[in-house]
Chain A
Amino acid sequence: MVGVFGDIPWAVVLILLPLTGGMICFLWPGMAKLAGAVTAIAVSLSVAGLGCQLLAHGVYHHAVGGWGAPLGIDLTADGLSLLMLATTALVGLGITVYSLAYFHGEDMVRFWPLWLFLLAALNALFLAADIFNLYVTLELIGLAAVALAAMPGGRDALSGAMRYLLTTLLGSLAYLFGVALLYHGFGSADIAILAVRVESSAVVWAALGLMGAGLLLKTALFPLHFWLPPAHASAPAPVSALLSALVVKASFYILLRLWLTIFNSLAGEVDELFGLLGAAAIIWGSIQALRQPRLKLLVAYSTVAQIGYLFIAFPLAAGAAASVWGATAYLAISHALAKAAMFLAAGNLLHFGGHDRIIDMDRVVQRLPLTAGAFALAGVSIMGLPPSGGFIGKWLLLEAAVIQGRWDLAAVMILGGLLAAAYVFKVLGYAFTAASVSHEPQFVSARMEWSALLLASGAILLGFLAPSVLSLVDIGSPFGIMEVRP
């Protein structure tokens, strides 16, 4: 039994499964819900299968069709890939359950194929072993995401989606230029080969600049975040959750990979810049979140702020690489769970009350206690209060900042937590005030409430799983190379 399962190339399954599911949804819309649900569950199980392989044999390589590195397509997975795949599968499962109840009619027909294609592209991205495949998957993710964001079709959604489309194309184009430069200069697109061959030169710096800028734009790091709030806020709730929780993490993942391998010998100056922008993102995003009159915009700006935390790690990594990058990965997955839960909860409130004006929330929040609970638990992780995944990540980063005497970064992190508390409680404060309902509320199904609550509980649960998760990430020591950096 174990032998048979151990031999299955789970990495390939992880890409083919959602791809097939997506096609079924597209060809037979009547089966869309069933296919979506089955695919989401099967993908989660396949990630578990891949995890077993990794635990047993270490880093996983698969040459598709038997063609090896310079020519064929390689798939590879280490602890970091596994972590991202697992997060994608779990968050995806939650969002799938939610979407089963959320979408009906036309929307349902559009949503399922796009979501499953997106899932296939995300999985392929986390498994890709060369920078060109990363480009292909990145472009696929961008297109699927834009189509999803445009689904509601209204003026807001279309203009938001249009901005999103242009930025995402621009971002991937810049990235592609960088890929071309590197391929031309060093004769390979394979990350492992490039990491050995690349040395400081004008071409490499140009590639670094182009790829970095493109990925920053797609990750929405301040001040390149302008496209994110309208696109994330105007999409339907499950789509907002996908975009904020998973899609921005994909481009961040590529950036992190490149920085840890190809550019790791020459990125010293840029690290400081990233740290500065990250700090600015935390402050600016949080303040903007606090000022928003609409709930979904508040949550979207909170994403802008939380992305900042991921970049705080860059200037700190020189001192304590493994722990700092571990913390960053931890923050990324905690944010994925928490932010998905928060957007789904916001979707419930919007659905129930027919609006998402924060000042009128008192008519809504106290009538949906499970949703309010989901929002609160997700908020705990976003604020970085214990016990939660957000706390673990923040604690490790704070520790590194204090050890290295980076009081500026420590202060920004603390301040960001305070501001996050301010905007989370701005919403939760309405959970306790009594107000009469002035309209006919829309029914919110139990599945929609529970999927939000379970995702949020996942973010809390991460607060207790740090030792095992961090040791899992260390398979193949994705952060190990940083240690030798002078």
Chain B
Amino acid sequence: MNLDPWVPILVIASSLLPGLIIFSLAENSVRLRTGLNLTGALLNLVLVGWMLWGVYLGHRYEARLALLPDLELVLLADTLSLLFITLSAVLWLVTTVYAIGYLKGSPHRSRFFGFFSLCVTSTAGVSLAGNLITFLLFYELLTLATYPLIMHHGTEVARRAGRSYLVYTIFGGALLLLGTVWLYTLTGTLEFTPRGLLNGMGEEHRPALRAIFALLIAGLGVKAALVPLHGWLPQAMVAPAPVSALLHAVAVVKAGAFGIVRIVYEVFGVEFAAGLGVTAPLAWLAATTIIYGSLRALFQDDLKRMLAFSTVSQVSYITLGVAIVGPVATIGGMVHLVHQGFMKITLFLCAGNLAETLGVHKISEMNGVGRRMPWTMAAFTVGAFGMIGAPPVAGFISKWYLGLGALEAGQGWVIFVLAGSSLLTASYFLPVLHAVWFREPPVCWPKEHHFGLRETAWALLLPPLATAVMALGAGLLAAMPFSPLNWAKLIAAREFYLP
């Protein structure tokens, strides 16, 4: 019996089933819940690792289920899906550990971890989707699974944020649905195909295809936080820190960016899209978002809000890499999907530590915090340097490839965008780092908890340290096999461009 089709199904089940069981658990069955969470996360990681090795060797993991008489749900592990799902599997484990520590003793934990698992299930589904309708299904499921997480605190602010999130994402989902149906009526298939499925479409369909592209990108742009569809993201930072971390690093914004990659490369095909003239506006949109997000981040005092605007800016690097038509830039965008994840999750987890341990929420309260929490702030510093694009942190690799790719594709203006964004990023992160390490700490912190000799609880400290090490490692060891960079090169060679 061929077990290969079951592997992607098991990946989905490894987070879906624990999630459903956790919903039914009583609030105080902490050990069972923690056990289920960690078992699911570890199993997920093992299965993804297995697929990673298999796909590298040329295996094909594919499961199909008829959804309509002539349309199927497809779960498919190709190199591109593995890039995303590996990221989500690794960061899910890290964030679960963190969330268990972070939410210790707070109410509604069964609900939280249930939806948390559903959120990861949807992300896994988004990455494994083998056609557009499967993608759509999990993309909508992701909306429904994250909404309760954003609302988790149940305050008025949280409710407003949740509502705003829904308004944006449901609207985006409707556009995506319309675009998908329209595309289906023209092509009769929605399978993701290396180098696109539209080759051979006649001249007369070009206006319709442009409109479809706009609909699909607008639908995905909501989650990817492309300006002017980014409004929900800064509000959503009221969610608990592990949720923000997951939202900004893996789940929601990445699902949008990943969808854009799929649409451009495996639905339209990048050469075909360039021929339609739709990639240039997309590049401009991404560039505008990069600059706009950085500018807004410059003027924030709330730490998580600043990080949220920084996400708006950084995630668009992926879109930019996609929209500069050319293999090297694509590699830069692709690898940034992973690199940004490592760096941004580190920053958010550190922000959560500050809030939990010292009650520090604002940048103006962060003076000298490096002396009280040196390890946390060391991780934060690594993340910040990565965002700026300083070597040897991973962010440098992304920017290097983006810049090279832009030059190779003859789009020199992108260099200015990259340089400008790096300058802006430096000007909102460096003052923070200066305050953290070189200013005098205040006499007392807003709301301090003590953890003996340690600066904070292990469950809160280890996850950001681990992700900071990953961010460093992805940069330092970029030339090793199975590094994100080499995997991105493999994708570009296998899926996107003819060798």
Contact = CB atoms under 8 A, between A and B. Distances in A.
Interface of A: 369, 373, 376, 380, 385-387, 392, 395-396, 398-399, 402-403, 410, 414, 417-418, 421, 425, 429, 431-434, 463-464, 466-467, 470-471
B148 A432 contact: yes
B292 interface: no
A395 B67 CA distance: 11
Contact of B162 (A369, A432, A467): A432
Contact of A429 (B23, B155, B162, B170): B162
B162 A466 contact: no
B151 A429 contact: yes
Interface string B140-180: 11001001100110111011001100100011011001100
A392 B111 contact: no
A234 B433 CA distance: 63
Contact of A432 (B23, B133, B158): B158
Nearest to B182: A402
Binding site secondary structure of chain A: helix
A386 B140 contact: yes
Given A398-B178, A418-B170, A421-B170, A432 B154 contact: yes
A103 to B, nearest CB: 28
B69 A470 contact: yes
Contacts of B363: none
Contact of B154 (A396, A403, A434): A434
Interface in B28-57: none
Contacts of A464: 65, 67
Nearest to A327: B68
B458 interface: no
A349 B68 CA distance: 36
Contacts of B133: 386
A421 B168 CA distance: 12
Contacts of A376: 144
Listed from nearest, the 7 A-B pairs whose CB atoms lie closest are: A432-B151, A386-B137, A467-B66, A434-B154, A433-B154, A398-B181, A421-B170
A432 B155 CA distance: 9
B159 A418 contact: no
Contacts of A431: 148
B159 A410 contact: no
B136 interface: yes
A414 B178 contact: yes
Contacts of A470: 68-69
A177 B182 CA distance: 44
A380 B152 CA distance: 20
A467 B69 contact: yes
B68 A395 contact: yes
Interface of B: 23, 65-69, 111, 133, 136-137, 140-141, 144, 147-148, 151-152, 154-156, 158-159, 162-163, 166, 170-171, 173-174, 177-178, 181-182, 184-185
A385 B173 contact: yes
A369 B181 contact: no
A466 B154 contact: no
B140 A421 contact: no
B124 to A, nearest CB: 15
Contacts of B173: 385
Given A386-B136, A392-B68, A398 B148 contact: no
Given A385-B140, A418-B171, A425-B147, 17 more contacts: A369-B111, A386-B133, A392-B67, A398-B177, A398-B178, A399-B181, A402-B182, A402-B185, A418-B174, A425-B166, A429-B151, A429-B162, A432-B158, A433-B154, A434-B154, A464-B65, A466-B67
A378 B141 CA distance: 14
A399 B66 contact: no
Nearest to B136: A386
24 contacts: A369-B23, A386-B136, A386-B140, A386-B141, A387-B137, A392-B68, A399-B181, A399-B184, A399-B185, A403-B185, A418-B171, A425-B163, A429-B162, A432-B151, A432-B152, A432-B158, A433-B155, A433-B159, A466-B66, A466-B67, A467-B67, A467-B68, A470-B68, A470-B69
A386 B155 CA distance: 29
Contacts of A410: 178, 181
A466 B136 CA distance: 17
A28 to B, nearest CB: 39
Contacts of B152: 432
Nearest to A380: B144
Contacts of A387: 137, 141
A420 B220 CA distance: 21
Contacts of B144: 376, 380, 385
A396 B68 CA distance: 9
B190 to A, nearest CB: 11
A364 to B, nearest CB: 14
A262 to B, nearest CB: 28
A373 B178 CA distance: 28
B130 to A, nearest CB: 15
Contacts of A463: 67
A414 B66 contact: no
A414 B170 CA distance: 11
A123 to B, nearest CB: 29
B168 to A, nearest CB: 12
Task: Tell me which of A418, A431, A467 has the highest count of chain B C-beta atoms within 10 A of its own C-beta.
Answer: A467
A414 B69 contact: no
A395 B181 contact: yes
Given A399-B184, A432-B152, A433-B159, A466 B69 contact: yes
Contacts of B159: 429, 432-433
Contacts of B67: 392, 463-464, 466-467
Contacts of A471: 69
A464 B147 CA distance: 24
A312 B133 CA distance: 23
Contacts of B140: 385-386
B240 to A, nearest CB: 12
B492 to A, nearest CB: 31
Contacts of A421: 166, 170
Nearest to B134: A386
Contacts of B136: 386
A373 B19 CA distance: 14
B133 to A, nearest CB: 8
A414 B174 contact: yes
B109 to A, nearest CB: 13
Contacts of A414: 174, 177-178
A296 B230 CA distance: 35
Given A432-B148, A432-B154, A434-B154, A402 B181 contact: yes
A425 to B, nearest CB: 6
A348 to B, nearest CB: 17
Nearest to B174: A414
A42 to B, nearest CB: 31
A464 B71 CA distance: 11
A187 to B, nearest CB: 41
B320 to A, nearest CB: 30
Nearest to B139: A386
Nearest to A468: B66
A369 B27 CA distance: 13
A331 to B, nearest CB: 14
A422 B272 CA distance: 38
Nearest to A434: B154
Nearest to A421: B170
